[in-house]
């Protein structure tokens, strides 16, 4: 390259949230490795990026990320640098040794919602073929599993958004439940801004008056854990005011009478007492939504991360079906998936009960199809295993060894101090990650793996759009990809074939494994993705255009009708009382991401959000005697966290909020409740009872 040459730009996608914003990378000389360049032609973000996206290459620098394997050569000793042969040999010995002594299900695998489709697919195959274990799940279980379960019950198919984001500004009214897009997905806020500019109305339901809620025509602030009652109360009003779309209900749904009876038991005055939202505001919300020609309900973690999350989402789906706002253009229910590949990660085999293509592990036909692609006996495939929290809770007891790829449950799991103890009790722990996360610091072996810009692979966005991340940079010497790791470990454990390290080869196999399944990728290729700015699944053959909009003709059920599911309100798993009189809810801030393992290593992001905090109302602050910045101790039945007070009138006086990105004394998930939804197995992150006091 001469002094006048400009390094080529590589089009790719942000490594963080499920928007998967388009960007381009240009290699640079020096410690920064690469610079981010706007990619204005990509339709989702049109060049816009949040601070996390703009600074994403900072995690690739030496001194920030791992560049050599680490091993703990003696119990209680320090992690020390090692060669790859030693590190891989120790993992094969650790996993294989536990399996030989205690059986296949004594070995567990825990994946991540940020892994590419290729890596998620290979990890699921590795668990079931090489380790022969049923004990695999992933942190995406903590993301949108409740919405996924509700989708399946109502529509017969789960895709976060059954329509593209570009439809949102063109609808008549959006109800946004438990989402703060302005901080969790900033480039997506423009869709709501455009909605209002086009004359559409926005209703935000959130116990906090967030930056997103400030954009709304109407903000409802229910008590955390009461979203189910609120949805039922609004459906009651739809019935009472004669706003049911009777023709749609008659021709395109089933089960209305049972769902209607459940809603009619939740009259508005009762709902006001449960939620703290005035009847007049409930009526206004129904009027705005039903008065528009079209409408959408979008949910996120607020209503979903509850021990009744599946029923809560189901209530909002019932609301959409009763009003005819589903299966029609510019109308429908959608879930705002959080993690970068939270959608694709669960479609292709990381979840405890699923095989690639969103096939059920208990379906004999699905087992036969996937086993044929894998070249194994379907009877040899293990059955469903434990869900994410149940798997982590079993560590050191039934599950004696664990392989973790792309997750940091020491910070992100509920009742995190308990999970930290369970991880420490393992006979053997191996972690593959980019940085030395809090979970990796507990491991017997840590493997340094490539990051998004150093490898190719596909992800699936919240729209169901399959995208291609392209390799733009060479990884540092001593760093390997997750696919190379699985290839090597499979060989050491007696499976020399079937685990290629080339992502294109893995994707070709994934296409065959998914063919005919609910999430059918058979017609999607790297070349098509590059030419078309992504391809929406299902796409069963190369001539198929992809499916940006689902359910317009029929739902994905045997008879093509959507199912109403009758639900009733029930209390949170843990209610407040005299000892724990305040509700804690958790969430994110704009400058950090998930467990913070990567973003907490970026100076610009840390300058914007350096520490955890406790957000509380002025009346509550006065009652416990704290001022802005004073340390507050928050105690639940599971533990204690301490962080500075942030006092604001933008939160309910009976509620406190903590972001969950930090470890240590301010770790919010020390407090959270692992009570599980009976259908989705989602923990109740969003609601737990706490007490507050000034801390020193």
Burial class (CB in 10 A: 0-12, 13-18, 19+), 196: middle
Give yes or no: residues 374 and 400 share one domain. Answer: yes
In a domain, 527, yes or no: no
Of 191, 169, 171, 174, residue with least CA distance to 182? 191
In this prediction, residue 32 has a pLDDT band, given cuts at 50, 70 and 90, of: confident
pLDDT in tens, 94-132: 999 999 999 999 999 999 999 999 999 999 999 999 999
Give yes or no: residues 107 and 256 share one domain. Answer: no
In this prediction, residue 29 has a pLDDT band, given cuts at 50, 70 and 90, of: confident
In a domain, 544, yes or no: no
Give yes or no: residues 365 and 488 share one domain. Answer: yes
Taking the CB of residue 97, how many other CB atoms lie within 10 A of it?
A: 15
Helix (H) or strand (E) holding 121: helix 117-125
In a domain, 219, yes or no: yes
CATH number at residue 49: 2.20.25
The last residue of a domain, from among 23, 39, 60:
60
Beta strands, E only, 470-594? 535-536, 562-563, 582-587
Q: Answer for the pair 364, 207: CB distance below 8 angstroms, yes or no.
A: no
Give yes or no: residues 346 and 331 share one domain. Answer: no
**Interstrand relation of 173-177 and 201-205 (parallel, antiparallel or unpaired):** parallel
At residue 595's C-alpha, the angle toward residues 651 and 212, to 5°, is 35
Distance from C-alpha of 657 to C-alpha of 442, rounded to nearest angstrom? 29
**Interstrand relation of 354-355 and 359-360 (parallel, antiparallel or unpaired):** antiparallel
Q: Answer for the pair 632, 617: CB distance below 8 angstroms, yes or no.
A: no
Quote the mean pLDDT of the chain: 96
Give yes or no: residues 124 and 272 share one domain. Answer: no
Give yes or no: residues 24 and 138 share one domain. Answer: no
Name the DSSP class of 386.
-
The last residue of a domain, from among 42, 60, 78:
60
Residue 4: is its pLDDT beyond 70?
no
Secondary structure in 3-state letters for 638-663: CCEEEEEEEECCCECCCEEEEECCCC
**CA–CA distance from 675 to each of 448, 574, 691 (Å)?**
34, 9, 19
The DSSP bridge partners found for residue 433 are 448
Give yes or no: residues 209 and 286 share one domain. Answer: yes
Distance from C-alpha of 212 to C-alpha of 220, rounded to nearest angstrom? 12
Instruction: Say how many domains are in the chain.
Output: 4
- Give the residue with greater pLDDT, 685 vs 76: 685
In a domain, 65, yes or no: no
In a domain, 526, yes or no: no
Give me the sign of the Cα torsion angle 531, 537, 539, 545: negative
In a domain, 677, yes or no: yes
Give yes or no: residues 81 and 196 share one domain. Answer: no
In a domain, 460, yes or no: no
Give yes or no: residues 128 and 192 share one domain. Answer: no
Give yes or no: residues 322 and 345 share one domain. Answer: no
- Give the residue with greater pLDDT, 33 vs 644: 644
Of 330, 290, 302, residue with least CA distance to 220? 302
Q: Containing domain of residue 359, as a range?
A: 70-142+341-449+479-516
Give yes or no: residues 120 and 161 share one domain. Answer: no
Q: Reduced to 3 DSSP states, what percent helix, strand and coil does the chain have, rounded to the nearest 5?
A: 35, 20, 45
Give yes or no: residues 103 and 158 share one domain. Answer: no
Residue 385: is its pLDDT beyond 90?
yes
Tokens for 207, please give them: 């116990």
CATH number at residue 618: 2.40.40.20
Taking residues 485-510, report their average pLDDT: 97
In a domain, 553, yes or no: no
């Amino acid at each position: 390259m001469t002094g006048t040459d400009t390094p080529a730009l590589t089009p790719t996608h942000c490594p963080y949230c499920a928007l998967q914003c388009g960007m381009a990378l240009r290699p640079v000389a020096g410690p920064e490795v690469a610079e981010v360049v706007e990619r204005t032609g990509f339709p989702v973000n049109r060049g816009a990026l949040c601070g996390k996206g703009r600074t994403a290459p900072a995690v690739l620098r030496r001194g920030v990320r791992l560049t050599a394997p680490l091993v703990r050569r003696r119990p209680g000793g320090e992690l020390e640098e090692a060669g790859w042969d030693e590190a891989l040999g120790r993992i094969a010995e650790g996993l294989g040794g536990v399996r030989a002594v205690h059986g296949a299900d004594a070995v567990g695998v825990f994946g991540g919602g940020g892994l590419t489709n290729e890596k998620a697919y290979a990890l699921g195959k590795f668990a079931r073929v090489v380790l022969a274990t049923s004990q695999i799940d992933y942190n995406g279980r903590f993301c949108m599993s409740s919405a996924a379960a509700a989708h399946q019950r109502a529509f017969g198919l789960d895709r976060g958004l059954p329509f593209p984001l570009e439809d949102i500004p063109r609808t008549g009214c959006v109800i946004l439940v438990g989402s703060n897009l302005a901080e969790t997905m900033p480039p997506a806020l423009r869709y709501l801004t455009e909605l209002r500019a086009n004359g559409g109305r926005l209703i935000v339901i959130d116990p906090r008056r967030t930056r997103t809620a400030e954009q709304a025509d109407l903000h409802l602030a229910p008590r955390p854990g009461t979203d189910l009652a609120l949805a039922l109360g609004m459906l009651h009003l739809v019935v009472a005011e004669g706003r049911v779309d009777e023709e749609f209900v008659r021709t395109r749904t089933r089960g209305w009478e049972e769902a209607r009876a459940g809603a009619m038991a939740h009259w508005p005055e009762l709902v006001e007492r449960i939620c703290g939202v005035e009847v007049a505001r409930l009526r206004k919300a129904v009027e705005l939504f039903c008065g528009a020609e079209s409408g959408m309900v979008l949910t996120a973690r607020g209503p979903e991360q509850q021990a009744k999350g599946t029923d809560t989402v189901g209530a909002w789906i019932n609301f959409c079906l009763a009003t005819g706002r589903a299966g029609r253009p510019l109308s429908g229910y959608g879930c705002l998936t959080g993690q970068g590949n939270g959608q694709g990660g669960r479609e292709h085999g990381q979840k405890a009960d699923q095989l690639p293509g969103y096939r059920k592990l208990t379906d004999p036909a699905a087992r036969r199809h996937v086993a044929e692609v894998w070249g194994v006996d379907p009877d040899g495939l293990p059955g469903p295993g434990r869900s994410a929290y149940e798997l982590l809770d079993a560590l050191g007891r039934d599950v004696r060894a664990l392989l973790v790829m792309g997750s940091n449950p020491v910070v992100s799991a509920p009742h995190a101090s308990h999970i930290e103890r369970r991880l420490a009790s393992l006979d053997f722990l191996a972690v593959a990650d980019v940085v030395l996360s809090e979970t990796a610091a507990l491991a017997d072996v840590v493997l340094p793996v490539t990051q998004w810009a150093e490898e190719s692979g596909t992800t699936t966005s919240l729209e169901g759009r399959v995208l291609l991340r392209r390799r733009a940079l060479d990884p540092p010497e001593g760093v390997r990809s997750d696919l190379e790791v699985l290839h090597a470990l499979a060989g050491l454990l007696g499976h020399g074939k079937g685990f290629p390290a080339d992502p294109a080869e893995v994707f070709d196999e994934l296409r065959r494994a998914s063919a005919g399944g609910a999430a059918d990728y058979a017609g999607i290729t790297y070349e098509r993705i590059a030419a078309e700015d992504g391809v929406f699944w299902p796409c069963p053959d190369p001539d198929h255009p992809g499916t940006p909009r689902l359910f317009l003709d029929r739902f994905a059920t045997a008879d093509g009708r959507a199912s109403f599911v009758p639900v009733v309100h029930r209390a949170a798993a843990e209610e407040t009382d005299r000892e724990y009189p305040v509700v804690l809810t958790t969430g994110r801030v704009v400058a950090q991401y998930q467990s913070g393992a990567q973003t907490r290593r970026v100076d610009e992001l840390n300058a914007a959000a350096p520490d955890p905090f406790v957000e509380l109302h002025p009346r509550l602050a006065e009652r416990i005697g704290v001022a802005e910045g004073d340390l507050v101790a928050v105690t639940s039945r599971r533990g204690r966290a301490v962080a500075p007070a942030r006092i604001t009138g933008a939160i309910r006086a009976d509620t406190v909020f903590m972001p969950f990105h930090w470890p240590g004394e301010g770790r919010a998930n020390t407090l959270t409740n692992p009570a599980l939804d009976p259908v989705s197995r989602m923990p109740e992150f969003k609601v737990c009872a706490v007490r507050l006091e000034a801390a020193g």
